[in-house]
């Protein structure tokens, strides 16, 4: 055998070995309970697809967002699949950073996805991310405290009813506060709640010409109402309370009501974690009779970055993780109550799921009541219920959130907070070229 034949043979052997080698998918994901469960169940996927191995990068939400945004913006190519929120999907798809999911398989049943969730992930009739779990917001309340105060919570309460009930239930001497709401500054913290609430009060972030609307009476009504209610019936130090702080207050029996993400329902009804597990009732987020409920819409979704070299394998994984069979797999292994909620219509029609998850109907009704393309009473130029899907919103939302948090803490008046929000939003939107 001469040298040339030897080299040729070696090269072919190396190439063949490379082909036979398993393809590795690196998946960046958020560390919530449903995602962690998926990691544990991936044996089901790898046994069906022995040529694909999975590598997980699990991170806390804020770190994940910074990490994947840097990677996709610089075309770093570190990840084959990214877990992103409904805020990112339309922005990234328009930038051409995501691949449309065209080949999820014949049995994927795209039409089974909940319309409200699907519409937030579809741009120009193409689905750019597949929802893994979806959520909205709703009222969680203490049935025992309502009974004691002689109150009955309607299925679809108004803000006036909520405010009256909160003031009646409040018993500051015994550390029971009528209502716990987010106050911590941040676009995904107090502004998620306040933007959604403002929708119910007829307010909007921008008019059709991208002019900020904080100087309009609707915002003043909404913020005034919130600050007064929290001063009368909220817990002390509410301006630094986010999801976790309120969850902790509610679980230890200190809140009469809490309006927050539907995902909280499984925490507050879990007897291992919550002292009030058997006393919690649910209702739709409140309205003011103007036609919009103050509930938001969020989903964590799986998407493939443009330029990925492993599209076929990535699509296979996404179809597995967000498909109908995955829901059955979770139900078989961990029970129906642990199935990721809020993505598929068929799940809510399943009697076993309805039996296992007492909050199922309320979650579905809440999600269906949100419309990301028409979030406010008046017309808006943006997509998003509790956010505005433009790249500038993270910075803007947090800056405005700081003003509103200061108003709640009593460091400035509601009027000053709104004036300052208007000024800073106008400045940023002019700088970014939205306002000519």
Interface residue with another protein among 86, 251, 366, 422 (CB under 8 A) is 251
Distance of CA 280 to the CA centre of its chain: 22
From residue 143, alpha-carbon distances to 149, 235, 277, 298, 413 in Å are 10, 19, 11, 27, 35
Rank residues 74 and 209 by Cβ distance to another protein and give the closer one.
74
Q: Is 2 in the site for another protein (CB under 8 A)?
A: no
Interface residue with another protein among 242, 323, 341, 401 (CB under 8 A) is 242
In the complex, the smallest distance separating the C-beta of residue 65 from another protein, rounded to whole angstroms, is 11
From residue 269, alpha-carbon distances to 62, 155, 263, 337, 341 in Å are 26, 18, 11, 11, 15
Q: Is 22 in the site for another protein (CB under 8 A)?
A: no
Interface residue with another protein among 44, 46, 57, 161 (CB under 8 A) is 57
In the complex, the smallest distance separating the C-beta of residue 58 from another protein, rounded to whole angstroms, is 4
Helix or strand holding residue 133 (H, E): strand 130-142
Helix or strand holding residue 142 (H, E): strand 130-142
Identify the CA nearest to 118 among candidates 101, 103, 105: 101
Interface residue with another protein among 92, 108, 226, 267 (CB under 8 A) is 267
Rank residues 220 and 310 by Cβ distance to another protein and give the closer one.
310
Partnered with residue 134 across adjacent β-strands are 299
Rank residues 55 and 155 by Cβ distance to another protein and give the closer one.
55
* DSSP class per residue in 244-308: HHHHHHHHTT-EEEEEEETTHHHHHT-TTT-TTGGGEEEEEPPB-SSS-BS--EEEEEEE-BTT-
**C-alpha span between 152 and 56 (Å, rounded):** 47
In the complex, the smallest distance separating the C-beta of residue 27 from another protein, rounded to whole angstroms, is 9
Identify the CA nearest to 86 among candidates 379, 342, 381, 349: 342
The residues in 150-189 that bind another protein, with binding defined as CB under 8 A, are 188
Strand pairing of 23-30 and 52-59?
parallel
Rank residues 117 and 263 by Cβ distance to another protein and give the closer one.
263
In the complex, the smallest distance separating the C-beta of residue 45 from another protein, rounded to whole angstroms, is 17
Rank residues 76 and 105 by Cβ distance to another protein and give the closer one.
76
**C-alpha span between 282 and 156 (Å, rounded):** 10
Identify the CA nearest to 130 among candidates 82, 92, 95, 91: 82
* 269-276 contact pairs (CB < 8 A, 24+): 269/358, 269/359, 274/250, 275/251, 276/142, 276/144, 276/250, 276/251
Q: Is 261 in the site for another protein (CB under 8 A)?
A: yes
Interface residue with another protein among 244, 309, 351, 436 (CB under 8 A) is 244
Q: Is 283 in the site for another protein (CB under 8 A)?
A: no
- Stretch binding another protein (CB under 8 A), from 97-105, 204-212, 259-267, 334-342: 259-267
Q: Is 231 in the site for another protein (CB under 8 A)?
A: no
In the complex, the smallest distance separating the C-beta of residue 93 from another protein, rounded to whole angstroms, is 21
The residues in 381-410 that bind another protein, with binding defined as CB under 8 A, are none
Q: Is 278 in the site for another protein (CB under 8 A)?
A: no
In the complex, the smallest distance separating the C-beta of residue 54 from another protein, rounded to whole angstroms, is 10
Rank residues 28 and 424 by Cβ distance to another protein and give the closer one.
28
In the complex, the smallest distance separating the C-beta of residue 200 from another protein, rounded to whole angstroms, is 22
Two tokens at 217?
């009476």
**C-alpha span between 315 and 102 (Å, rounded):** 9
Rank residues 178 and 242 by Cβ distance to another protein and give the closer one.
242
- Stretch binding another protein (CB under 8 A), from 9-17, 29-37, 314-322, 383-391: 29-37
The residues in 59-98 that bind another protein, with binding defined as CB under 8 A, are 59-63, 66-67, 70-71, 73-79
**C-alpha span between 372 and 299 (Å, rounded):** 12
Q: Are 332 and 353 in contact (CB under 8 A)?
A: no
Q: Are 278 and 271 in contact (CB under 8 A)?
A: yes
Interface residue with another protein among 273, 325, 332, 415 (CB under 8 A) is 273
- Stretch binding another protein (CB under 8 A), from 2-10, 242-250, 283-291, 335-343: 242-250
Residue ranges binding another protein (CB under 8 A): 26, 28, 31-33, 36, 39, 55-63, 66-67, 70-71, 73-79, 188, 242-244, 247-248, 251-252, 261, 263, 267, 272-275
């Amino acid at each position: 055998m001469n040298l040339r034949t030897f080299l040729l043979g070696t090269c072919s052997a190396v190439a063949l070995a490379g082909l036979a080698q398993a393809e590795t998918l690196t998946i960046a994901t958020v560390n919530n309970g449903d995602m962690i469960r998926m990691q544990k169940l991936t044996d089901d996927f790898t046994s069906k697809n022995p040529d694909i191995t999975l590598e997980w990068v699990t991170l806390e939400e804020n770190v994940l967002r910074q990490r994947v945004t840097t990677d996709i913006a610089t075309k770093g190519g570190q990840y084959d699949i990214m877990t992103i929120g409904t805020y990112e999907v339309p922005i990234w798809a328009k930038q051409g950073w995501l691949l449309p999911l065209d080949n999820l398989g014949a049995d994927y049943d795209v039409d089974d996805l909940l319309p409200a969730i699907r519409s937030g992930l579809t741009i120009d009739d193409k689905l750019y991310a597949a929802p893994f779990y979806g959520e909205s917001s709703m009222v969680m309340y203490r049935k025992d405290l309502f009974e004691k105060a002689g109150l009955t919570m309607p299925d679809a309460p108004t803000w006036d009813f909520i405010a009256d009930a909160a003031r009646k239930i409040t018993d500051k001497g015994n550390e029971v506060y009528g209502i716990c709401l987010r106050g911590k500054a941040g676009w995904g913290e107090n502004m998620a709640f306040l933007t959604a609430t403002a929708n119910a009060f007829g307010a909007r972030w921008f008019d059709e010409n991208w002019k900020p609307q904080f100087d309009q009476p609707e915002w003043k009504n909404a913020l005034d109402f919130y600050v007064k209610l929290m001063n009368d019936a909220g817990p002390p130090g509410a301006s630094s309370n986010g999801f976790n702080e309120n969850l902790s207050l509610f679980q230890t029996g200190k809140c009469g009501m809490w309006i927050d993400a539907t995902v909280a329902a499984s925490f507050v009804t879990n007897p291992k974690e919550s002292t009030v597990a058997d006393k919690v009732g649910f209702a739709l987020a409140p309205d003011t009779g103007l036609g919009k409920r103050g509930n938001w819409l969020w989903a964590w979704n799986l998407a493939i970055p443009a330029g990925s070299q492993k599209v076929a394998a990535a699509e296979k994984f996404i179809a597995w993780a967000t498909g109908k069979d995955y829901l059955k797999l979770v139900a078989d292994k961990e029970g129906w109550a642990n199935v990721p909620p809020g993505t598929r219509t068929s799940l809510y029609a399943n009697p076993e799921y309805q039996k296992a998850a007492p909050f199922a109907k309320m979650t579905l009704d809440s999600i269906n009541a949100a419309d990301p393309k028409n979030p406010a009473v008046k017309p808006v130029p943006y997509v998003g219920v509790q956010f505005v899907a433009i790249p500038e919103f993270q910075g803007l939302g947090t800056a405005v959130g700081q003003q509103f948090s200061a108003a709640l803490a009593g460091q400035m008046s509601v009027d000053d907070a709104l004036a300052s929000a208007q000024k800073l939003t106008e400045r940023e939107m002019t700088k970014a070229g939205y306002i000519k």
